Copies of this chain bind each other. A is one copy, B any other.
Amino acid sequence: MPFERIAILGTGLIGASVGLALRRSGFSGTVVGWDKDPAQLSIALEKGAVDVAAQSGLAAASQSDVVLLSGPVFSILDWMEQLAPVLKPGQLVTDVGSVKGVITERASTLYASESAAAFLPGHPMAGKEFSGAAHAEAGLFDGAVWLFTPISAMREHASLPEREWRQWVCRFGCRVLDLEAARHDHLCAWVSHLPQLVSTALSAVLEETFAADEDLRAIGGRALREMTRLGASPYSMWRDIASSNSDALTVALHALEQRLAHIRENLKTPELRAEFERANQFRLGSNADLAGEES
A contact residues vs B (CB 8 Å cutoff): 125-130, 144-145, 147, 175, 177, 179, 183, 187-188, 190-192, 194-213, 215-235, 238-239, 242-243, 246, 249-250, 253-257, 259-261, 263-264, 267-268, 272-273, 275-287, 289-291, 293-295
Contact = CB atoms under 8 A, between A and B. Distances in A.
Contacts of A197: 260, 263
Given A125-B221, A256-B205, A280-B232, A227 B199 contact: yes
Contacts of A287: 216-217
A218 B175 contact: yes
Contact of A257 (B203, B220, B264, B275): B264
Contacts of A128: 295
Contact of A221 (B127, B199, B272): B127
A125 B221 CA distance: 6
Given A227-B227, A257-B264, A260-B198, A221 B235 contact: no
Nearest to A255: B205
Nearest to A147: B219
A261 B289 CA distance: 31
A218 B272 contact: no
Contact of A259 (B129, B204, B282): B204
Given A205-B255, A267-B249, A224 B272 contact: no
